[in-house]
Structure 1
Amino acid sequence: MAPRVLVSDKLSETAVQIFRDRGVEVDYLPDLGKDKDALLAAIPNYDGLAIRSATKVTPKIIAAATKLKVIGRAGIGVDNVDIPAATQRGIVVMNTPFGNAITTAEHAISMMMALARQIPEANASTHAGKWEKNRFMGVELFNKTLGVIGCGNIGSIVADRALGLKMKVIAFDPFLSPERAIEIGVEKVELDEIFRRSDFITLHTPLTEKTRNIIDAAALAKCKKGVRIINCARGGLVVEDALYDALKSGHVAGAALDVFEVEPATSHKLFELDNVVATPHLGASTGEAQENVALQVAEQMADYLISGAVSNALNMPSISADEAPRLRPFIAVAEKLGSFAGQLTEEPVTGIVIEYAGDVGEMNTRALTSAALSGVLQPMLGTVNMVSAPVVARERGIKVDEVKQTQRGAYETYIRLTVRTAHLERSVAGTVFSDGKARVIQIKGIDMEAEFGPHMLYVTNEDKPGFIGALGTILGNAGVNIATFNLGRRAQGGEAICLVSIDEAPPAEVLQAVARLPQVKQAKPLAF
């Protein structure tokens, strides 16, 4: 029986025809995604769901989707899909991460130009029959400094276009290597230097816990007077109230915004200001981009439904159907080891070494490496998936090495991941036990054994009496319940590591209290 796909948002006719040409039955109902009750009633009949941004794939929809095997998002953002719920049901979630990069970059450049020359306001004035030539005094882009926050795929295209306009481009991106910066012609700087030096600042980073509110009141206060802000990335990167105040005071000369914290933004106090250019999330809205992502998602979904091939999946790597059962637990280990290292790494990553010892070295290590890279990069970049992670790492000049070797030590097979920055090297190793669960077996060369929990507390400390009691007291007094408690040390009285699985994310004040303990060198929350 042929697989059946529902297209619940507007997709091009060519994309719909691709499904039919590949032997997939397709129902094109572009308004169905706006009606959650109708979608809920229809979804049990389909093997695939192709969407854009209007369809909200909630846990309720996923629970009703008893046949669903794949969700394909034509575009990069998957905020409208509950990926954990889909993963739990074994539904592959795909996106098209590179199909609209040029369009979005061009929109950012257009917004910068419109802001510099006050084009929207001047256009409205001229349409109203006025001729206010002296009112609209703009600024040149030539020789100005553009600060790019996030210099990945889209950010590097924006930088290239800005260099063509003879601007000076400086960039902040924790994953941008000095060599890659030289290659694309930008100066790599720290975030504070972006604020201090830039005449224009443009954002091209995903929304993660590390990037949320990256431009707040404190950041704006560091900016030079007269700075102009462009955000065509994600709402929530800029604190809108702080931006409003800075615009009102004149410290910020203008802002161009394509995205907002709450969308659709049909009313907003920023709209009251003449020096704000606003568009309704048009970054990817060109005919070429819409066609590219629609065709790409149709090809990917058809490939998966017909042959089992997986591309651009956010919740699983590219693997064949026959190797999946054996590989899947080691994919979980690789991704969690990468996430462990990524969450603890604050500096730009320059290199990653993944060591496969024993039988795991005979498996599909390309998929395992993709999973590990995805884990390392996701804490900072958010939308990276197991397929795009190698591309993202290469774009940022991160050197990735695989090492395969025979069995070493007490474990028959294991994976060790080492992350290198300019100033440090951190390694973590793990394996799969007979119960099929992933375990940490070594951190920074210190042997220990621990399961990964949804919420964990990682502490490095001096091996001195009283530490365990003090830590337990802090957690107990805060009502934080301990699920598991694991310890390891390099030598008696030397460096030690404590890995605690807890029932909920630790509050900031608890972390601060732990960090103040005299034996503690570092205390960090981890989430898996």
Structure 2
Amino acid sequence: MPTRKKYTVVVCDHIHEAGLKMLQDDKNINFVMAADVDKKELVQKIIPTADVAITRSSTDVDAAFIAAATNMKAIVRAGVGVDNVDIEGCSKEGIIVMNVPTANTIAAVELTMTHMLSCMRMFPYSHDHLKNQRVWKREKWYGHEMKGKKLGVIGFGNIGSRVAKRAASFEMDIIAYDPYIHPSKVTDCDMTYTKNFEDILACDMITIHTPKNQETLNMIDEKEIAKMKDGVVLINCARGGLYNEKALYNGLKSKKIRFAGIDVFSKEPATDHPLLELDNICVSPHLGANTFESQYNIGTQAAANAIEAAKGISFAHAMNLPIDESKIPSFVKPFLEMGQKIGFLESQMNKSQIIAIKVSGQGEIANFVESLSTFVAVGAMSQNSGDTINYVNAEFVAKEKGIKIESEALGDSSVYKNLITIKLTTAEGTTTISSTIFDDGVQRIVAIDGFDIEVALKGDMILFKNSDVPGVIGSIGSTLAKHNVNIADFSLARNDNAEALAVILVDNTVNDETIEELASLDACLSVNYARL
């Protein structure tokens, strides 16, 4: 009887011993514990032998790591974040990147509650006063009750919804903001759903639970803090940078923000951060996953995923889809990448709960339209789903969210060799974009919502729809110049309804004030800003 092949799984960073035992006990796994091995030695001597590697934040999966991983099928990131993993580099070498996105959910939820209670009662400071300074002074530590206070929850996903339910048990009034979910997810919990971000800014306490992306980075800044009520309490146990840290510092310093509970920072470790100088902030060193239970969950789930990946059984929570270019025509991969970008672009143009995604293909690309629809769905849903959306679970996540995904193969285009058209329907409306790739390899949009327009699919993009009257282009140009926004490219199209669409590529980031001023122009029908 032939001996069954043993697969080598290398554990690059420490995980829970229960996960290690799972690896040790599997007779088909050659388990290598390398958490304490020098990283240079790890890459040079151990990684070349690995079928699968389990990593955490201490090991960078960079170019050197990937180059050494000549035998590797998959990498399991034991945790949620994959910031230290070069996913694109892994994809090029056919290495599947997986994470463990739900193992620390309860730990993150309970840490958020800890910060909320600590801020309301100043618990860390009263504790220090008595235990370390040995001062008994009850009158110094008057806090606030959570009962009856309004809690604004930004992001009502896996963690935010659970925080809201626990806060409701404290008899808080919950207001949730999440444009990518159906309102019933909130209202069915006897909570208030809002599409108006100003309602969140009016709350007594605000907690944020969103992915970190172009839309959510610096989501709370000086402008938003200025609109908050005096004495607001802010909590961030999600991602560093969702609150602008300079604005947060100024708000705490002025006492506009009475207290803040912060577990995450833009740059970590944050041992010299200015926020640590303040006496109205509770901080922790990124402890969202630091419970024995979550570490057990992370370790065992990572080990189970690694074992299944090594044996080729499944690739749970895959973050990428390595493409064996020998099995598909070379022209297909750029179209898949372009489809994902279009999905991401449309989700920024039409920020609301997604209802349906329809992908059409014309030309030879029509033979791959089902695969294309998966890439489009990942791009469209990534704005809200962040690290939890991937090519493997996209269809399941869409079904769970009530999103209908359709694909259709059409006849050849009379104009383009290959053409893809993506229609995104949300609760607020429909956006349709057609795109192609010419012989020069440049991905180009060729139509947007009935406007025939040609524009490269890249960079920062303003989409300005207006009544087709004189003077509009000049007004747009002067407005952008006023805000020091440089125009890289300006494409214009008109339709038969006396309307025009301008797609403006710009060299620098556009702030909300600039977009609001563009929207106030008399001829403006709509304006959107997207970053690719």
- Normalised by the size of structure 1, how large is the TM-score? 0.82
Map of 2:104 onto structure 1: 100
Map of 2:508 onto structure 1: 507
1:282 aligned onto 2:320: no
CA apart distance, 1:2: 4.0
In the aligned structure 1, how far is the partner of 2:228 from the partner of 2:485? 39
Map of 1:161 onto structure 2: 166
Map of 2:145 onto structure 1: 140
What SS does the corresponding residue of 1:161 show, helix, strand or coil? Answer: helix
1:258 aligned onto 2:263: yes
In the aligned structure 1, how far is the partner of 2:282 from the partner of 2:250? 16
CA apart distance, 1:480: 7.3
Aligned AA (2:508) = P
Are the structure 2 counterparts of residues 44 and 361 from structure 1 closer, same or farther at C-alpha, using a change threshold of 3 Å?
A: same
Map of 1:272 onto structure 2: 277
In the aligned structure 1, how far is the partner of 2:57 from the partner of 2:409? 46
In the aligned structure 1, how far is the partner of 2:101 from the partner of 2:498? 46
Map of 1:307 onto structure 2: 312
CA apart distance, 1:486: 7.4
Are the structure 2 counterparts of residues 92 and 438 from structure 1 closer, same or farther at C-alpha, using a change threshold of 3 Å?
A: farther
Among 432, 444, 461, the alignment partner of 1:427 is 432
CA apart distance, 1:204: 0.7
1:177 aligned onto 2:179: no
CA apart distance, 1:107: 1.0
Ranges in structure 1 where 5+ consecutive residues have no aligned partner: none
Map of 1:70 onto structure 2: 74
Are the structure 2 counterparts of residues 272 and 332 from structure 1 closer, same or farther at C-alpha, using a change threshold of 3 Å?
A: closer
CA apart distance, 1:372: 1.9
Among 223, 226, 229, the alignment partner of 2:228 is 223
CA apart distance, 1:159: 0.9
Map of 1:371 onto structure 2: 375
Among 180, 190, 194, the alignment partner of 2:200 is 194
Question: 1:144 touches 1:167 (CA, 8 Å); kept in 2?
Answer: yes
CA apart distance, 1:164: 1.8
What SS does the corresponding residue of 2:188 show, helix, strand or coil? Answer: helix
Aligned AA (1:37) = K
CA apart distance, 1:453: 4.7
Map of 2:41 onto structure 1: 38
CA distances 1:432-479 after superposition (whole Å, capped 9, x unpaired): 88999976554313456777456767565677999999999999x999
CA distances 1:367-397 after superposition (whole Å, capped 9, x unpaired): 65442222113245542432454565566x5
Aligned length: 513
Question: 1:212 touches 1:236 (CA, 8 Å); kept in 2?
Answer: yes
Ranges in structure 2 where 5+ consecutive residues have no aligned partner: none
Question: 2:436 touches 2:446 (CA, 8 Å); kept in 1?
Answer: yes
In the aligned structure 1, how far is the partner of 2:423 from the partner of 2:431? 5
CA apart distance, 1:155: 0.5
CA apart distance, 1:263: 1.0
Are the structure 2 counterparts of residues 160 and 93 from structure 1 closer, same or farther at C-alpha, using a change threshold of 3 Å?
A: same
Aligned AA (2:353) = V
Alignment of 1:283-432 (within 5 A): 283-307=288-312, 309-316=314-321, 325=328, 331-345=336-350, 347-356=351-360, 365=370, 368-379=372-383, 381-386=385-390, 387-390=392-395, 393=398, 397=401, 399-402=403-406, 404=408, 407=411, 410=414, 416-430=421-435
CA apart distance, 1:145: 1.0
1:83 aligned onto 2:84: no
In the aligned structure 1, how far is the partner of 2:12 from the partner of 2:352? 40
What SS does the corresponding residue of 1:303 show, helix, strand or coil? Answer: helix
Aligned AA (2:314) = A
In the aligned structure 2, how far is the partner of 1:124 from the partner of 1:113? 16
In the aligned structure 1, how far is the partner of 2:510 from the partner of 2:209? 31
Are the structure 2 counterparts of residues 488 and 272 from structure 1 closer, same or farther at C-alpha, using a change threshold of 3 Å?
A: closer
CA distances 1:4-48 after superposition (whole Å, capped 9, x unpaired): 23211111233234345172323112234xx54334424333332
CA apart distance, 1:109: 0.9
CA apart distance, 1:154: 0.7
Question: 1:152 touches 1:392 (CA, 8 Å); kept in 2?
Answer: no
Are the structure 2 counterparts of residues 507 and 444 from structure 1 closer, same or farther at C-alpha, using a change threshold of 3 Å?
A: same
CA apart distance, 1:233: 0.5
In the aligned structure 2, how far is the partner of 1:58 from the partner of 1:192? 42
Percent of residue pairs bearing the same amino acid type: 33
Aligned AA (2:82) = V
Are the structure 2 counterparts of residues 165 and 466 from structure 1 closer, same or farther at C-alpha, using a change threshold of 3 Å?
A: closer
Question: 1:515 touches 1:522 (CA, 8 Å); kept in 2?
Answer: no
Question: 1:352 touches 1:417 (CA, 8 Å); kept in 2?
Answer: no
Are the structure 2 counterparts of residues 274 and 369 from structure 1 closer, same or farther at C-alpha, using a change threshold of 3 Å?
A: same
Q: Aligned-residue CA RMSD in angstroms?
A: 4.1
In the aligned structure 2, how far is the partner of 1:324 from the partner of 1:181? 45
Question: 2:356 touches 2:425 (CA, 8 Å); kept in 1?
Answer: yes
Are the structure 2 counterparts of residues 418 and 257 from structure 1 closer, same or farther at C-alpha, using a change threshold of 3 Å?
A: same
Are the structure 2 counterparts of residues 329 and 249 from structure 1 closer, same or farther at C-alpha, using a change threshold of 3 Å?
A: closer
Are the structure 2 counterparts of residues 257 and 465 from structure 1 closer, same or farther at C-alpha, using a change threshold of 3 Å?
A: closer
In the aligned structure 2, how far is the partner of 1:253 from the partner of 1:469? 45
Are the structure 2 counterparts of residues 13 and 362 from structure 1 closer, same or farther at C-alpha, using a change threshold of 3 Å?
A: farther
Aligned AA (1:119) = F
Question: 1:448 touches 1:488 (CA, 8 Å); kept in 2?
Answer: yes
Are the structure 2 counterparts of residues 219 and 470 from structure 1 closer, same or farther at C-alpha, using a change threshold of 3 Å?
A: closer
CA apart distance, 1:415: 5.1
In the aligned structure 2, how far is the partner of 1:200 from the partner of 1:210? 22
